[in-house]
Structure 1
């Protein structure tokens, strides 16, 4: 029987893809510092979010007012995010992160003063979230320098799982904790978490120079324009950015969780507890999806399945139109969260296409647009829910998001082969 020498010698076979392990990524000291600091500050933020949502709805009984305050945690990047994100390229990224952590701790400590007027609290919330833009841009740009190749993807998966787990814990336990702590103490706890994050960064992240020399630092406006041209002038990057912004559809249910909980209230559980469970459902699904996606799917397999996973984030929400009971709603929202793991693949592909010197501005633009999309979606959802109820709004968001995901999947098929080749070359 004749044999194929090429098959025996393996000359025409592709080398197997080697995925990084969680153990080797966690062994990186700088990654552990970034990981712990993010988890600490995020936990405090979730407690503060639940406190504000419950406080506003108890005062106003208005889905629109509740969604508007919740949207304050997303909308500031529309005004200042694209400009401030460039600081992550203009100055050393570690310094930018420390400055933002310390300033946010101070603002939150001010918010925690008893008797602070509600309008002042809203302004302070706006400023705190605004400072998140340069921090997130610096952190995102620093990650590929700390972790290379598939380590970056696995590290992103670890952070994604941790972030969603922290959100799940913060939302699920938030209602009960707020009842005992009160909203002002919750804000004081949030301030302490930012101080803790700054200490961890000082101890665990080494100094690096900025990506621009002292004599070659363009203006903030010039960097913003250059970042916009870089991100939106490339067809591949445009598609990946829109994949990231798709979360504006499937995160909308969190913004109207309080009025949704009111509809589901049958006297068995307090409304704040139902609210916390609803807000924790999607992060719970994302924890499961990110772990499985990052651990058991190859780097190229993640990119090939990205479109299908994106569709999964939105499709289950359509079933909320049938007004299912609490248990079914939690399952549907959790399944939506499982699909959200596609963001890991989109993030990895984005890193492959963006030059290191422009990563801060590029990541900042994407993050700002992402938060803006979520904020606008939540605000619109609250306004519509005020008229037709929360269940139809969630279903409409799912249907619209599914349609967008289908279009993006078709666009992604045109450019994914090139990016998959780049990813395979680094594994």
Structure 2
């Protein structure tokens, strides 16, 4: 049964979602958290380089925003359903605020700075998974949930486009440690918004949290591995998870190799900067279009064709195109990301409520980790094969992988019973 917010969202795009008071608080907190992380990344990189003079240590300061992600997401995922969402979210924000505050202290050594950044990254997947799962409580699990998730992703993509530029400007007027003070303040404000602006709800994994709780929920709470088996043990849910995880492994290849490709075709740094913006701009545009103009049924129908075609524009790399063609190809890949909105609905429908926090945490963990793996493999392949052929190979292999996953999802869906055109189980 669709909620009032779901029906309004279907008619009015993103606007009705912002009319939900709790969501406005969650959205504002998300914006502050993202900006805080961006400022921390650029400030800490500059601070470590000035302290050590080492490019390696400076790069490590940036990489520590990603390296602990897999470990934190795997070990902390049970907490997403074991404790009330508001408590988990505010605790994570307060921990990050404390880490940033210690970074501000003049006597904090470089080793401690790196450890504190790793601690912030360690809890990031738990925070993100819990927040994404809590959107189901705030907005329901229908179309409003899908649009809320889309808005959160667009904020993150926009931060990639604007955040580092604004952070660089900020460091022209503030010392890096002072800028880290703004990060601490941002996390504190985020914690306050979540604590005061969202309702206290019981943990999803507690007794009586839902009709589906029981043996599966109990098993999922015993250990991280047991929870992972509970989430990935369902055939349809496993196929959906892999559809989120694996395509980005191939999508990041042209991004990871843009610098050497630009050098190979004689493009300058200005052209490189423009090309680096193309994929995120396409992604934001695609999501805005799908969320604003299409209803749930139309988005569901687009999942398979857009997912199957999303990597095909990269085949133009076979002729070593110039900057305009590369821009068009990357924009097209980003636009095809609109299929994620339909995939989001299918995913939340497939996940038992008592495992939603665990599932969302693992989903984000796998996504971030495998994107890093994709970048590393792309760089390794480019040591032996021309860059443009690496991109073509990624497009071809990735398309085959997506087609196999779509076939598996179709088979698993048929085995689980008939469904409506939006992905809901038909009644």
User: TM (normalized to structure 1)?
Assistant: 0.80
Q: 1:290 aligns with which of 261, 277, 287?
A: 287
| Contact in 1 for aligned 2:204/2:354 (Cα 8 Å) | yes
Once structures 1 and 2 are overlaid, which stretch shifts more, 46-55 or 377-386? 46-55
For 1:176 and 1:412, the matched residues in 2 are separated by 47
Q: Which residue in the other structure is 1:408 paired with?
A: 405
Are residues 1:203 and 2:204 paired? no
Are residues 1:131 and 2:128 paired? no
Give the paired residue count: 406
Are residues 1:249 and 2:241 paired? no
Q: Please report how far the alpha carbon of residue 191 of structure 1 lies from its aligned counterpart in structure 2 after TM superposition.
A: 3.3
Q: Which residue in the other structure is 2:152 paired with?
A: 159
Cα distance per residue 1:145-204 (max 9 Å; x no partner): 111222212222333333323332225555555666575555444333222221221231
Q: Which residue in the other structure is 1:380 paired with?
A: 377
Are residues 1:92 and 2:92 paired? no
Matches within 5 A, 1:22-421: 22-49=14-41, 72-112=64-104, 120-148=112-140, 149-171=142-164, 173=166, 186-213=179-206, 222-246=222-246, 247-255=248-256, 269=270, 274-275=272-273, 277-385=274-382, 391-415=388-412, 418-420=418-420
Q: Please report how far the alpha carbon of residue 233 of structure 1 lies from its aligned counterpart in structure 2 after TM superposition.
A: 1.5
Q: Please report how far the alpha carbon of residue 414 of structure 1 lies from its aligned counterpart in structure 2 after TM superposition.
A: 2.9
For 2:94 and 2:258, the matched residues in 1 are separated by 31
Gap change, CA 1:387 and 1:197, over 3 Å in 2: farther
For 2:260 and 2:43, the matched residues in 1 are separated by 15
Higher RCO (CA 8 Å, separation ≥ 6 residues): 1
Cα distance per residue 1:248-289 (max 9 Å; x no partner): 2213444455556666775573xxx944x4443222111111
For 1:33 and 1:222, the matched residues in 2 are separated by 33
Once structures 1 and 2 are overlaid, which stretch shifts more, 87-96 or 191-200? 191-200
Gap change, CA 1:184 and 1:19, over 3 Å in 2: same
For 1:413 and 1:76, the matched residues in 2 are separated by 34
For 2:161 and 2:178, the matched residues in 1 are separated by 20
Gap change, CA 1:302 and 1:70, over 3 Å in 2: farther
Are residues 1:19 and 2:10 paired? yes
Gap change, CA 1:99 and 1:237, over 3 Å in 2: same
Gap change, CA 1:188 and 1:266, over 3 Å in 2: farther
Q: Please report how far the alpha carbon of residue 224 of structure 1 lies from its aligned counterpart in structure 2 after TM superposition.
A: 2.7
Once structures 1 and 2 are overlaid, which stretch shifts more, 345-354 or 43-52? 43-52
Once structures 1 and 2 are overlaid, which stretch shifts more, 234-243 or 43-52? 43-52
For 2:110 and 2:400, the matched residues in 1 are separated by 39
What SS is found at the alignment partner of 2:70? helix
What SS is found at the alignment partner of 1:208? coil
For 2:8 and 2:19, the matched residues in 1 are separated by 21
Cα distance per residue 1:370-424 (max 9 Å; x no partner): 1111122223333444565755444443333222112122223334574435746
For 1:329 and 1:158, the matched residues in 2 are separated by 27
Q: Please report how far the alpha carbon of residue 208 of structure 1 lies from its aligned counterpart in structure 2 after TM superposition.
A: 1.1
Q: Please report how far the alpha carbon of residue 142 of structure 1 lies from its aligned counterpart in structure 2 after TM superposition.
A: 0.8
Cα distance per residue 1:103-138 (max 9 Å; x no partner): 112223444556866655444333211101211121
Gap change, CA 1:108 and 1:318, over 3 Å in 2: farther
For 2:394 and 2:176, the matched residues in 1 are separated by 31
Q: Please report how far the alpha carbon of residue 325 of structure 1 lies from its aligned counterpart in structure 2 after TM superposition.
A: 3.7
Cα distance per residue 1:82-113 (max 9 Å; x no partner): 22011111111111001111111222344455
For 1:100 and 1:25, the matched residues in 2 are separated by 25
Q: Please report how far the alpha carbon of residue 354 of structure 1 lies from its aligned counterpart in structure 2 after TM superposition.
A: 1.3
Gap change, CA 1:93 and 1:352, over 3 Å in 2: same
Gap change, CA 1:50 and 1:243, over 3 Å in 2: farther
| Contact in 2 for aligned 1:46/1:174 (Cα 8 Å) | yes
Gap change, CA 1:172 and 1:358, over 3 Å in 2: same
Unaligned runs of 5+ in 1: 1-15
For 1:374 and 1:365, the matched residues in 2 are separated by 14
For 2:175 and 2:315, the matched residues in 1 are separated by 36
For 2:266 and 2:98, the matched residues in 1 are separated by 38
Once structures 1 and 2 are overlaid, which stretch shifts more, 72-81 or 123-132? 72-81
For 1:352 and 1:136, the matched residues in 2 are separated by 19
- Report the aligned-residue RMSD: 3.9
